[in-house]
Amino acid sequence: MDNLTTQLLAGNRRALARLLSQIENQVETAAEALAQLHPHTGRAWIIGVTGAPGTGKSSLVNALAQGFRQRGQTVAILAVDPTSPFSGGAILGDRIRMRDLSGDSGVFIRSMATRGSLGGLARATRDCVRLMDAAGFDVILVETVGAGQSEIDIVRTAYTTIVVEAPGLGDDVQAIKAGILEIADVLVVNKADRPGAQQTVRALRAMLELGHPVARQVSHHGQLMTVGEAPVSSALQVEDWSPIVVETVATEKKGIDALLEAIDAHRAHLQGEAFVKRQRQNIEVELLDRLQTALLERLNRSLSSEALRDMIDQVRQRQLSPQAAVGMLLSRL
C-alpha cells in the first residue's frame, strides 16, 4: 500500500492534507490511493451546510463542530469557497470564523476552492470527503459556497443537509420557489436575535406545511373531515421526513443543542432501508457524473479539430443540419 495512504489510516494529519491536495490537483496516483481507501470509508456521518452568502454558515459550522466535540466526537470540516472565473484564483476565508476550533487535535479544517464547478461544491469534494472518512473522523461537515437557488450538489454528498437562512432575505413566495429549500432536512434560521426572525420562521413553517401537510381534522359545513393525510414528498426527499426548523444565533452558540438534536433525529430516521436507499441514490448520481466526465474526455481526445472544422463548414453552407452533424460525429466515436 502506498506510503501516504498507510500514514493516513494511522491518523497522520499531514498525509491527509497531502492526499487532499493530490485529489484536488488530479494527480494520477490519487485514484490509486482512493481505491485503496474505499474499503475504509462509510463510517462517518456526512452533514452538508448550505445557504445564501452571509447567512452565517461558517459560524454555524464552527458552533456545530464545538457541539460535536463536547460529545466526544471528532470532526472534519471541508469549507468550499468560489474560484474566480477570471483568474482561476480564490480567497478561502472560512477559517476566520472557525478560530474557536484551533488547537484541537480532534478537528481538521480544510478550505477548498470550487475550481470552476457550479453546483456549490468542487468536483473533488466527494473524494475529499472520502479521505476524511477513511481518516476516521466521526462527523464530516461540508460547507458549500454561498448558494442561491440551484446549487444543490450537496444533497448527493451529505446524509443530512442543513439549509441556513437568515431574517430579511425574502418573502413567503421566495420560500415556496423551487430550489435550495427543497433539499433541507433541517432548516436553520440563524441570526435569530435579529428583527424579522419570527416572520422568517413562520414563512418557512408555512412553506413546509404546503409540501408536507400535517393530517388534521377540520370542520367544513358542519362535517368533520380529515385533510392532508398523505404527505407529498419531493423527488429529493424520498424518506418521508418532515424537515425541522431550528432557530440559532451561531456567534453566541444559541440553539446549537436543538440543532444537534434535529441532526440526531434525522440520522435516527435515516436508518435501515431508508439509508440504503439514500446511499444507492448518491452512488448512482456519482457514477453517472463520472461516466459523463470520462465520456466527455474521451470525446475531446477523439475529436480532431479538422473533422470539427469540416463539420462547421458543412453546417455553415447548409449542406448539413447541426443535428445531423452531431449524429455523424457521434458515430465516429
Partner 1 sequence: MSKRVPRVLIAKPGLDGHDRGAKVIARALRDAGMEVIYTGLRQTPEMIAEAALQEDVDVVGLSILSGAHMTLVPRVREALNASGLNDVPIMVGGIIPDEDRAPLSALGVAGVFGPGTSTEEIRDFIERLVAAKDANG
21 scored as a contact of partner 1 (CB under 8 A) = yes
> Which one, 70 or 84, has the nearer CB to partner 1?
84
Q: Are strands 45-51 and 139-143 parallel, antiparallel or unpaired?
A: parallel
How many angstroms separate the CA atoms of 54 and 70, rounded? 26
301 scored as a contact of partner 1 (CB under 8 A) = no
Specify the DSSP element, H or E, that contains 30: helix 28-37
88 scored as a contact of partner 1 (CB under 8 A) = yes
Closest CA to 135 of 7, 27, 46, 29: 7
> Which one, 113 or 262, has the nearer CB to partner 1?
113
Q: Which of 72, 87, 305, 306 binds partner 1 (CB under 8 A)?
A: 87
118 scored as a contact of partner 1 (CB under 8 A) = no
How many angstroms separate the CA atoms of 185 and 207, rounded? 14
91 scored as a contact of partner 1 (CB under 8 A) = yes
Q: Which of 39, 99, 178, 332 binds partner 1 (CB under 8 A)?
A: 99
Total residues contacting partner 1 by CB under 8 A comes to: 32
Q: Which stretch binds partner 1 (CB under 8 A): 38-46, 96-104, 151-159, 232-240?
A: 96-104
Q: Which stretch binds partner 1 (CB under 8 A): 1-9, 24-32, 57-65, 146-154?
A: 24-32
302 scored as a contact of partner 1 (CB under 8 A) = no
95 scored as a contact of partner 1 (CB under 8 A) = yes
Three cell numbers at 267? 440520522
- Nearest approach, Cβ of 148 to partner 1 (angstroms)? 22
Q: Which stretch binds partner 1 (CB under 8 A): 83-91, 184-192, 202-210, 262-270?
A: 83-91
* Site residues (CB under 8 A) for partner 1, limited to 240-259: none
- Cβ atoms of 237 and 277 closer than 8 Å: no
How many angstroms separate the CA atoms of 233 and 217, rounded? 21
Q: Given strand 244-247, what is the order of strands in its sheet?
A: 107-113, 75-81, 139-143, 45-51, 160-165, 186-189, 244-247
- Cβ atoms of 141 and 161 closer than 8 Å: no
- Nearest approach, Cβ of 188 to partner 1 (angstroms)? 24
- Nearest approach, Cβ of 92 to partner 1 (angstroms)? 5
> Which one, 20 or 244, has the nearer CB to partner 1?
20
277 scored as a contact of partner 1 (CB under 8 A) = no
Specify the DSSP element, H or E, that contains 209: helix 197-211
Q: Are strands 186-189 and 160-165 parallel, antiparallel or unpaired?
A: parallel
Q: Which of 7, 8, 24, 180 binds partner 1 (CB under 8 A)?
A: 24
Over its C-alpha atoms, the chain yields an Rg (Å, rounded) of 23
Closest CA to 144 of 46, 276, 232: 46
How far, rounded to the nearest angstrom, does the alpha carbon of residue 224 sit from its chain's CA centroid?
43
> Which one, 9 or 90, has the nearer CB to partner 1?
90
Question: Site residues (CB under 8 A) for partner 1?
Answer: 13-14, 17-18, 20-21, 24-28, 83-84, 86-93, 95-96, 99, 102-103, 108-111, 113, 115
